[in-house]
């Protein structure tokens, strides 16, 4: 093929030329009590996560990661025997799959996040002072995610719940299409704070295939934006309590006047059936 | 609406043998046999019979015969009986026609057109009963080279290896989830795998927490589109993590475990509320492209601190070789390829019978492609879908597989008769059902013994054939197509398989 | 030859490749030329989106000295000098070649099987029967001829004042190999990092794909490739590079250059609204979109894709209609960015003023001396 007696072979885009952990630890980490400040500039995904794990294993409980530009899986490899839950601050722009499979830790992002925030997250908290990309909170089973601004496509897709684990996603802005697709449990609260008066939410196909959980929308959507499997219901007292609680929590994180937000009109979307596709088969 | 369907089976009872013990009545969840005590007589409702042969097998006096009823419509090669039956079924319901187990259409079974070699004169065959015959196999990524350090004249390994998993026999039980199959069936697979030193695959229904201590060490756990039961405990307890992209019986589509099958126990293992449909979307919604697959592969490696091989299972489809190459480059340690005859608990008939390609061809082209690109050592290849015997398995290994998945064969060992009604939840053999009355028919102690017997039998047969070939380690047959010849195949088929015709 | 083979037997049409990738594009809307550092650093930031099997750059405003001449970048596989002879004889016959040289490369960078890369600055030299053919059409037909009739010779780019540099390797290696950061400036840079599932070692399969001054970089798989390809063949475009991105490049040429449709419409041909959405439109739009979907059904690009299409004065980002692939746009002053990941933009422009993500099928159109790119802003998140 090429005139040489060699094959192209394999280039390892993830694992080639990784720096050893002790060198990284020596050069990138500043320890101050239980707080570690980490410089992530130019680090590969695995290098940064090696470093986070090492730092935690050496006893740090608070991690402040600076100069993050696109590093993935932050928080994922911090599944450690210790029961301690960590506080992780990300400055500023984490890569995809932030907090994937997250297990109890708390991550605060001081900028925009990308796709896959809280993918299959089990417990813990992710707070994004900015926006988030596509498939935010996908298959999330527990914990809480707060996004200050907008979210992308397929947010909360296939979100679930299980016994006492009821995941919560609060989005300050609006969402793009397929919000809550296949949703099987949990709660999504979409506040629409950055929409103009009377401007509808951006998403179409909201709740398509939804068969569990609830979506609360503040603001306006037209009928044709909704999936076939959801129905609009009036709020009951429990709903109001939920909304009240999480709007206040949102304002605690990002500021804003909860009363003003709560004054808006809220809608509740729930699945019309727990078995949306029970009738499509011939037995 | 009345369906106009004809019965699929004829149920005959030889009254001279029947002792009215009513076993048949109790055994049939489809309520085919009805005993009228007043008349002291059995009636049969043939239209409900699925031909599972449970009653026939258990009848103490051999009084029952259940036979397919094939010839009631006027014979027609185009409008066959099953085509007409399906039309009538759909006209009555407007639904998608469902089916279970693997493709039963007469596509060429390439295994039956491939023949193995044996030693004669020029090299000796080996007697496996008395001489070593090694089947031990490692699944996972292999390095290009090893660093060896010498000190004091002693060689010492200087490189770190990628995680690999050892199998005593190159056979692995295919993914069958708890929920699709019953708990005793699931547990039987786990017990047999543990005993035989092989692996079983949990499918995407999770792994019950109380089974983890004992069986996680021989479990492949799946991370599929539904992400049921997937958390860090689940991922970290297993030996191998498998990303399920596709299934040979239904490439490109997802699955619905209907809410009525989601019992407390199933709900707990899948970590979802009881009674809701467990919907597995068609794609994994964080994978729309090969670099997204890479993202999930490394997410799983991150989640397990790079201690487990990650497998990616795909259905055999048209571009399978190119896709497999992409999967390896995306970081997978194992590629599993499931062919068109792979089984399923439920799939639309149209998809099962019409989508995908035979695994033999797919396997041959994948192995060739990975070698052409110089990356075959970067992954292990597991072949799945329609491996019926040890001979099929050994031919798959000669075509290039590292190991094979066996699913349907294991089910048959447990009692399954391929009635294809898995989706009804009324499996009289207690395998594919959640009805406690039916599942208790399966005793894991006994059933796992059957599975173990199967593995042992196949293992011995593989050893015999290997010995006949004159090799005493399975790796000497792997991708050794010199030991295969085709018969009755066309030129292009031989080309794709990369084997010579018999006599060539 | 390839073309004839197609007609002899469709069975032997080579399998298309499927690419999945990282994309990045940056344009100065004031037309100011700048070096390649931003593009190189940004794509490097998204290294894991590629597998080292291909990378490439397209640069606009590249050859101001020869901006009235077609710049042909031609590679000779295996440094095949016989092919070079045939090509040069062909060029001599059909063009005035005003200047040619080997494209300089860095001898210290070792890539996989590098071909010989040469550039020719040419003007059409038409025969008497060809006088009425417009220049662009003429050049395209000659380029198609070269690509499909001469083994081991491939035209990487053929536009005026634009060039494509690409090859097998990670994009930053390609940049080093051609010394892009040192030797060149342009007002648009688009770059691609490739993760193909096919044929390693094939330089022609790398992106950008180009025809005249149109270049395309693409992430995703066009599942409708077969339908698109056979439709384009009807219009004399033949796919010779075995990659699905090629159909996009040709479709853009057909619709935008030959049929003179604006990009806003072309975007709606590639990624049309759902019929459900069309039903919600007013009568005028309903008629328009119905007509577009009926007429151009074979050019619906189905399956996941993000593309960055560029030509003179314009850079366009577009995703498929249900946004199965990512794109983020960003702006700071006159600089406008398009990228697969936001972090890559942030890495090269930490003080970004705006970042936004348009919905599926909604183009981000960046035009010289306008703020047109902001039109997509209010539909975005």
Q: Which domains, and CATH codes, for chain B?
A: 9-95 (3.30.70.20), 137-144+155-501 (3.20.20.70)
Residue B288 has its nearest CB partner, among C17, C22, C304, at C304
Cα–Cα distances in Å, from C324 out to B432, C99, C277? 36, 44, 18
Place of tokens 């593309």: C307
Q: Report yes or no: C302 at the B interface, CB cutoff 8 Å.
A: no
Residue A26: left (phi > 0), alpha (psi -120 to 50), or beta? alpha
- In this prediction, residue A4 has a pLDDT band, given cuts at 50, 70 and 90, of very low
Neighbours of B175 (CB within 10 A): 26
Domain locations along chain A: 17-78, 96-271
Place of tokens 């030193």: B197
Summarize the confidence of residues B64-80 as an average pLDDT. Answer: 93
* Optimal mutation site among A45, A135, A153, A223, interface C, most CBs of chain C within 10 A: A153
Asked if the model's pLDDT at residue B276 lies above 90, the reply is no
Q: What angle do CA A44, A46, A49 make, to 5 degrees?
A: 110
Closest residue of C to A45, CA-based? C48
Closest residue of A to C327, CA-based? A133
- Residue-averaged pLDDT of chain B: 94
Interface of B with C in 278-307 (CB under 8 A): 288-292, 294-295, 298
Contact between A70 and C326 using a beta-carbon 8 Å cutoff = no
Q: Per-residue pLDDT tens for C273-284?
A: 999 999 999 999
Q: Per-residue pLDDT tens for B204-215?
A: 999 999 999 999
Instruction: Name the residues of C annotated as catalytic.
Output: 21
Contact between B326 and C200 using a beta-carbon 8 Å cutoff = no
Residues of B within 8 A of A165 (CB-CB) are: 271
**pLDDT the model gives residue C127:** 87
Place of tokens 């099997």: C53
Residue A8 has its nearest CB partner, among B295, B298, B374, at B374
Asked if the model's pLDDT at residue A117 lies above 60, the reply is yes
Pull the structure tokens for residue B403.
């190991």
Pull the structure tokens for residue C105.
């490369």
Closest residue of C to A67, CA-based? C347
Q: Per-residue pLDDT tens for B398-440?
A: 999 999 999 999 999 999 999 999 999 999 999 999 999 999 9
Min CA distance, A120 vs chain C (Å)?
19
Residue B294 has its nearest CB partner, among C48, C53, C221, at C48
Q: What angle do CA B467, B472, B174 make, to 5 degrees?
A: 85
Min CA distance, C133 vs chain B (Å)?
41
Cα–Cα distance measured from residue B280 to residue B264, given in angstroms and rounded to the nearest whole number: 19
Assigned CATH for A96-271? 2.160.20.60
**Percent of the residues in chain B that have a pLDDT greater than 70, as a whole number:** 100
**pLDDT the model gives residue C13:** 63
Residue A131 has its nearest CB partner, among C323, C347, C381, at C381
B26 — phi, psi (to 5°)? -70, -30
Min CA distance, A82 vs chain C (Å)?
31
Beta bridge partners of A65: A38, A90
Summarize the confidence of residues A203-232 as an average pLDDT. Answer: 93
**pLDDT the model gives residue C205:** 77
**pLDDT the model gives residue A37:** 97
* Optimal mutation site among B297, B299, B326, interface C, most CBs of chain C within 10 A: B326
Residue C198 has its nearest CB partner, among B295, B298, B322, at B322
Min CA distance, C337 vs chain B (Å)?
21
Summarize the confidence of residues A225-248 as an average pLDDT. Answer: 94
Contact between A8 and C53 using a beta-carbon 8 Å cutoff = yes
C225 — phi, psi (to 5°)? -45, -50
Q: Which chains share 3+ C-beta pairs under 8 angstroms with C?
A: A, B
Q: Length of chain B, please? A: 504
Is the interface score ipTM higher than 0.85?
yes
- In this prediction, residue C223 has a pLDDT band, given cuts at 50, 70 and 90, of confident
Neighbours of B468 (CB within 10 A): 18
Residues of B within 8 A of C168 (CB-CB) are: none
Residue A176 has its nearest CB partner, among C280, C343, C359, at C359
Q: How many CB pairs under 8 A join A and B?
A: 149
Closest residue of C to B323, CA-based? C197
Cα–Cα distances in Å, from C84 out to B435, C80, C146, C205? 75, 7, 11, 20
Summarize the confidence of residues B460-486 as an average pLDDT. Answer: 94
Residues 6 or more apart whose CB falls under 8 angstroms from that of C117 comprise C73, C74, C75, C76, C102, C103, C105, C156, C178
Helix (H) or strand (E) holding B211: helix B209-215
**pLDDT the model gives residue C2:** 43
Contact between B322 and C21 using a beta-carbon 8 Å cutoff = no
B106 — phi, psi (to 5°)? -80, 50
Q: Per-residue pLDDT tens for A141-184?
A: 999 999 999 999 999 999 999 989 999 999 999 999 999 999 99
Cα–Cα distance measured from residue B269 to residue B262, given in angstroms and rounded to the nearest whole number: 10
**pLDDT the model gives residue C200:** 58
Q: What is the dihedral of CA C62, C66, C69, C75, to 10 degrees?
A: -60
- Residue-averaged pLDDT of chain C: 90
Cα–Cα distance measured from residue A273 to residue A280, given in angstroms and rounded to the nearest whole number: 14
A103 — phi, psi (to 5°)? -125, 75
Residues 6 or more apart whose CB falls under 8 angstroms from that of C68 comprise C123, C160
Q: Report yes or no: C369 at the B interface, CB cutoff 8 Å.
A: no
Contact between B291 and C324 using a beta-carbon 8 Å cutoff = no
**pLDDT the model gives residue C207:** 87
Contact between C50 and B291 using a beta-carbon 8 Å cutoff = yes
A89 — phi, psi (to 5°)? -110, 130
Residues of C within 8 A of B295 (CB-CB) are: 48
Contact between C322 and A134 using a beta-carbon 8 Å cutoff = no
**pLDDT the model gives residue C199:** 57
Neighbours of B77 (CB within 10 A): 5
C154 — phi, psi (to 5°)? -135, 135
Residues of A within 8 A of B328 (CB-CB) are: 10
Residue A45 has its nearest CB partner, among C48, C280, C344, at C48
Q: Report yes or no: A281 at the C interface, CB cutoff 8 Å.
A: no
**pLDDT the model gives residue B112:** 97
Helix (H) or strand (E) holding B370: helix B359-372
- How many Cα atoms sit within 13 Å of A118 on the Cβ side? 39
C20-379 homologous superfamily: Aminohydrolase, N-terminal nucleophile (Ntn) domain (3.60.20.10)
Helix (H) or strand (E) holding B469: helix B444-469
Q: Which chains share 3+ C-beta pairs under 8 angstroms with A?
A: B, C
Q: Flag the least confident range among B183-197, B235-249, C201-215.
A: C201-215
**pLDDT the model gives residue C201:** 60
Summarize the confidence of residues B38-45 as an average pLDDT. Answer: 94
Closest listed residue to residue C191, CA positions, set C220, C210, C165: C165
Closest listed residue to residue C119, CA positions, set C77, C78, C155: C155
Asked if the model's pLDDT at residue C3 lies above 50, the reply is no
Largest CA distance in chain B: 93
| Torsion sign (Cα): B339, B343, B349, B351 | negative
Cα–Cα distance measured from residue C147 to residue C209, given in angstroms and rounded to the nearest whole number: 13
Beta bridge partners of B169: none
Contact between A277 and B277 using a beta-carbon 8 Å cutoff = yes
Q: Are B311 and B332 in contact (CB under 8 A)?
A: yes
**pLDDT the model gives residue A3:** 42
Q: Report yes or no: C295 at the B interface, CB cutoff 8 Å.
A: no
Contact between B326 and C220 using a beta-carbon 8 Å cutoff = no
């Amino acid at each position: 093929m090429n005139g040489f007696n060699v094959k192209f072979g394999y280039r390892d885009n993830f694992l080639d030329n990784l720096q050893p952990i002790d060198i990284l630890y020596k050069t990138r980490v500043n320890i101050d009590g239980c707080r570690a400040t980490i410089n992530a500039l130019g680090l590969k995904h695995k290098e940064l996560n090696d470093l986070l794990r090492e730092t935690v294993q050496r006893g740090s409980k608070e991690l402040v990661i600076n100069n993050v530009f696109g590093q993935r899986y932050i928080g994922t490899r911090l599944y450690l025997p210790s029961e301690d839950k960590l506080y992780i601050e990300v400055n500023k722009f984490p890569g995809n799959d932030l907090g994937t499979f997250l297990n109890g830790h708390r991550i605060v992002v001081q900028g925009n996040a990308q796709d896959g925030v809280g993918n299959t997250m089990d417990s813990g908290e992710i707070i994004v002072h900015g926006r988030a990309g596509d498939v935010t909170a996908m298959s999330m089973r527990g914990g809480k995610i707060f996004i200050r601004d907008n979210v992308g496509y397929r947010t909360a897709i296939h979100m679930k719940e299980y016994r006492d684990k009821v995941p919560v996603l609060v989005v300050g802005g609006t969402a793009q299409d397929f919000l809550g697709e296949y949703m099987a449990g949990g709660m999504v609260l979409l506040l629409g704070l950055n929409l103009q008066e009377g401007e509808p939410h951006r998403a179409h196909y909201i709740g398509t295939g939804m068969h569990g959980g609830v979506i609360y929308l503040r603001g306006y959507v037209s009928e044709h934006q909704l999936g076939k499997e959801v129905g609009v219901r009036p709020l009951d007292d429990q709903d109001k309590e939920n909304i009240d609680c999480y709007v206040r929590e949102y304002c605690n994180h990002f500021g804003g006047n909860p009363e003003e937000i709560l004054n808006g009109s809220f809608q509740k979307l729930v699945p019309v059936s727990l078995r949306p596709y029970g009738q499509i088969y011939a037995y | 609406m009345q369906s106009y369907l004809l019965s699929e089976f004829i149920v005959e009872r030889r009254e001279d043998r029947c002792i009215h013990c009513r076993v048949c009545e109790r055994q049939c969840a489809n309520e085919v046999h009805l005993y009228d005590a007043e008349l002291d007589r059995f009636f049969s409702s043939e239209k409900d019979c699925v031909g599972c042969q449970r009653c026939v097998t258990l009848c103490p006096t051999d009084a029952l015969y259940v036979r397919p009823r094939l010839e009631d419509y006027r014979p027609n090669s185009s409008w066959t009986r099953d085509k007409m039956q399906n039309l009538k079924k759909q006209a009555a319901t407007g639904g998608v026609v469902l089916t279970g187990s693997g493709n039963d259409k007469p596509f060429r079974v390439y295994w039956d057109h491939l023949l193995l070699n044996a030693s004669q004169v020029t090299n000796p065959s080996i007697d496996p009963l008395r001489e070593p015959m090694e089947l031990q196999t490692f699944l996972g990524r292999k390095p290009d080279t090893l660093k060896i350090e010498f000190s004091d004249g002693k060689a010492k390994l200087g490189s770190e290896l990628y995680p690999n998993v050892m199998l005593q026999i190159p056979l692995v039980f295919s993914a069958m989830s708890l929920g699709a199959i019953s708990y005793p069936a699931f547990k039987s697979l786990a017990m047999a795998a543990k005993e035989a030193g092989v692996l079983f695959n949990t499918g995407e229904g999770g792994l019950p927490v109380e089974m983890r201590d004992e069986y996680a060490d021989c479990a492949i756990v799946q991370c599929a589109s539904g992400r049921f039961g997937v958390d860090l405990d689940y991922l970290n307890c297993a030996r191998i993590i498998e990303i399920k992209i596709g299934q040979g019986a239904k490439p490109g589509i997802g699955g619905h475990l209907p809410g009525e099958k989601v019992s407390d126990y199933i709900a707990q293992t899948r970590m979802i509320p009881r009674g809701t449909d467990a919907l597995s979307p068609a794609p994994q919604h964080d994978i729309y492209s090969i670099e997204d697959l890479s993202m999930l592969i490394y997410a799983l490696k991150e989640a397990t601190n790079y201690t487990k091989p990650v497998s990616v299972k795909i259905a055999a489809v048209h571009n399978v070789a190119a896709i497999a190459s992409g999967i390896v480059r995306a970081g997978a340690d194992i590629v599993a390829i499931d062919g068109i005859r792979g089984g399923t608990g439920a799939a639309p008939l149209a998809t099962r019978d019409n989508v995908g390609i035979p695994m033999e061809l797919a396997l041959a082209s994948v192995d060739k492609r990975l070698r052409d690109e110089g990356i075959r050592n970067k992954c292990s290849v597991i072949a799945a879908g329609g491996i019926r015997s040890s001979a099929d398995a050994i031919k798959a290994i000669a075509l290039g597989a590292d190991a094979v998945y066996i699913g349907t064969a294991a089910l048959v060992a447990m009692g399954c008769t391929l009635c294809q009604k898995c989706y009804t939840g009324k499996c009289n053999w207690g395998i594919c059902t959640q009805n406690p009355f039916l599942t208790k028919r399966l005793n894991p102690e006994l059933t796992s013994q059957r599975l173990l017997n199967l593995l042992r039998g196949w293992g011995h047969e593989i050893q015999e054939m290997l010995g006949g070939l004159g090799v005493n380690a399975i790796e000497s047959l792997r991708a050794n197509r010199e030991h295969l010849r085709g018969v009755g195949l066309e030129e292009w088929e031989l080309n794709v398989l990369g084997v010579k015709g018999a006599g060539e | 030859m390839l073309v004839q083979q197609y007609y002899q037997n469709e069975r032997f049409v080579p399998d298309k490749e499927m690419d999945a990738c990282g994309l990045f594009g940056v344009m100065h809307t004031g037309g100011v030329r700048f070096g390649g550092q931003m593009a190189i650093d940004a794509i490097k930031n998204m290294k894991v989106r590629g597998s080292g099997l291909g990378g490439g750059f397209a640069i606009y405003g590249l050859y101001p000295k020869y901006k009235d001449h077609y710049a042909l970048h031609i590679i000779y596989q295996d440094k095949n000098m016989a092919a070079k002879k045939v090509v040069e004889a062909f060029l001599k016959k059909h063009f005035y070649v005003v200047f040619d040289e080997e494209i300089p490369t860095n001898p210290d960078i070792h890539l996989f099987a590098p071909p010989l890369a040469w550039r020719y600055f040419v003007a059409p030299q038409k025969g008497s029967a060809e006088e009425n053919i417009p220049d662009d059409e003429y050049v395209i037909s000659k380029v198609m001829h070269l690509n499909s009739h001469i083994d081991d010779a491939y035209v990487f780019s053929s536009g005026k004042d634009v060039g494509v540099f690409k090859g097998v390797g990670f994009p930053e290696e390609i940049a080093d190999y051609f010394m892009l950061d040192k030797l060149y400036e342009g007002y648009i840079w688009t770059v691609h990092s490739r993760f193909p599932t096919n044929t390693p070692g094939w330089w022609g399969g790398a992106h950008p794909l180009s025809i005249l001054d149109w270049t395309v970089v693409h992430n995703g798989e066009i599942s409708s490739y077969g339908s698109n390809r056979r439709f384009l063949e009807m219009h004399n475009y033949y796919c010779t590079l075995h990659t699905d991105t090629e159909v996009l490049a040709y479709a853009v040429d057909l619709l935008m250059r030959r049929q003179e449709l604006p990009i806003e419409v072309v975007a709606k041909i590639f990624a049309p609204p759902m019929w459900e959405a069309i039903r919600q439109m007013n009568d005028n739009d309903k008629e328009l979109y119905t007509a577009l979907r009926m007429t151009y059904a074979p050019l619906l690009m189905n399956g996941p894709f993000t593309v960055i299409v560029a030509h003179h004065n314009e850079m366009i980002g577009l995703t498929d209609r249900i946004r199965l692939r990512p794109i983020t746009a960003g702006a700071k002053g006159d600089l406008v960015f398009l990228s697969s990941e936001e972090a890559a933009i942030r890495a090269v422009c930490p003080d970004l003023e705006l970042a936004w993500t348009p919905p599926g099928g909604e183009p981000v159109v960046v035009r010289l001396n306008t703020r047109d790119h902001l039109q997509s802003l209010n539909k975005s998140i």
